[in-house]
Structure 1
Amino acid sequence: MEDAPVKPEALDAVVFDVIGTLVDEDATWASAAARIAAETGSDGTVDLLAGWAAALDLRMSAVVEGDEPWRPHRELVVESARAAVSTAGGELTAADAAQLAEIEAGYPAWPDVASATAALRRNRLVAGLSNGDLDSLARLANTNRISWDIALSTGSVRTFKPAPAAYRHAIDALRIEPTRTLFVAAHPWDLRAAAAFGFRTAYIARPGAERPSKDDRFDLQLEDLDALVDYLDGGDPRRPL
C-alpha cells in the first residue's frame, strides 16, 4: 500500500469490478471445461480451459479496438468455447452451448462479499461495473446477496473494459466525481484504466488473480474486502498486502 493512501472521508462512492473481484469465475470455468472435455473427447481440460480463456480475451480485445462489432458477453463466451473445443479436436454440443450462455449468472461470490457490500452501502454509494451482461449481473446479485445500489454493464455502451467508454459510462450514469470514487478490482489492468480517468484505486487479492507490478501505484492494496471495510470505516487497514 502507498505511504499516503486516500483518506476515507474523501470518498463518496465505491465502484466494483464484478467478475473475478466479487465472484469467482475460475472454479466454474474449470468445472465446465472438464465436463466438455469429457463429453467431446477434446484433448485435456487444462489446454481446453486455457484456449477458451485466450479466445475470449482475443474477441473482447477486438471489440475494444473496433476491429469487431460488439456482441453480448454471453455470445463471446460461447463463441470462444466453440473455437477452443474445435482446436482441441472436438465439437461443442448445442446443450453445452446453451449452458455456457448462462454460465456467468451462476458464479459464486467470494465469502466476504455479502457482508462487505452491505457494510459499505451504509455510508456510500456502491455500484458494480462489469463486462458481463446486465441480466447476469442481476441474477448474480440475487443469488449471492450482493448489496449494491446499481449494477452497470459495459454492454450499455457496446464495448468492454478497458475501453475508456466503459469508465465514462460509470461516471455519467452515476453522476460521480472520479477523484472521490474508489474503483475496486482484482485486476491490475482494470485499475490502471480506471486510474487514467481519475478514479482512486484499490487492489483486492483473489486466488489466481494477477498481482500488481512493481510499477503500479494503487491507492490501496488489500487482501480482502473485510480489510477494505475496516479501512473505510476507520482508516485502519489491518490486512494490507
Structure 2
Amino acid sequence: MRFTFLCCLVLLVAGCQTVQMGHFSAPALIAFDPQQARQLAKRAEGYGYVKGRPFNLQNYPFFTQNSFGQNWLKQSSHKVITIGYPKECATYNARWRHRNLFDAIERTMTTCLSRVKEFSKHTGKKCGCRIAAINNNVFLTPEELPFRRNLPAIALVKDTRGRKEILGYASTTGRTGQNQPMDFFTQSGEKVCTGRYNLGSLSFKGDAQLNCFGGRIKGPAVFKVAGYREGQAYGTALVNAGENQLILVYGLPTDEFRKRRAELLEE
C-alpha cells in the first residue's frame, strides 16, 4: 500500500516543479555482491512508500550543491540513489523512471557494485553499496550523504622565479565524464587556476587542461585520483609548461595533506 507523505518539506526546483522529501531511519541497507543486492531490493522495496519525517533539505549539500543530486530530485518515480560503502568507496549512482520499484533498486545496486569493484582494488577496502534514497524518502543523514564543492588544496609552483606553495581550495563538481570544471582559489578567494578535466566513471587517472596565473603556467595536466571521500574524489593534477611546473594536491584531510605535501616538496 502506498502511504502519503505528510508535512514534508516542499522544494521548488526547475520551473515550478515541486518535490516532497522525507527522512526515514531504516536499518542500514547495504550489500556487497549481486545476490545480496537482490535480497536487499526485496526488503527495501517497502521503504519507498513509508511516511518520512520532514527535514530541512538545505542541510543536504548533496541535493542543493551537487548537480547530480539536483537532477535526481526532478526525476519521476521509481528512482533510487546508492552510495559506495564504506566512506573510502563513497562514489554514488542513481536511476529513475523505472516501471517498478524492485527493478529500480536492484539495477541501481548492481550498477553500483560493479563500479566499486575497482575501488576495492585501489583502496584495499571491501567495498559495497548502500541505499541512500528511494523515491521521496532519504535514509541517510547529511553526514552520511555528504558533498563538498570546495576541497582543501595546495598548489606547489616551480618556475624560473623559484618555488612556492599556495594554500587554498579547489572548486569542482566532482563528477566523472568529459570536460568537468575545476578551478583553484587562494584562501582569500582569489582565482589562481581555471580549467576542466576528463575522468571516466571507473578510472583513477585522466587528463585535464589548466590555465594558471593568467596564462603564465598553462597546458595539459596529468589528473590522478587517490581515493574518494565525502562524495568527492581527491588526488593530484600536474601541469608541465616548459621550465614551469604546477602540482595541485586537492581534497586531502589534514594528515594526508601534510604527508603528500612533504613528499612532493622533496621531488
TM-score, length-scaled by structure 2: 0.29
Q: Which has the higher strand share?
A: 2
TM-score, length-scaled by structure 1: 0.31
Larger Rg, first or second structure (1 or 2):
2
Q: Which has the higher helix share?
A: 1
Which structure is higher in RCO with an 8 Å CA cutoff and minimum separation 6?
Answer: 1
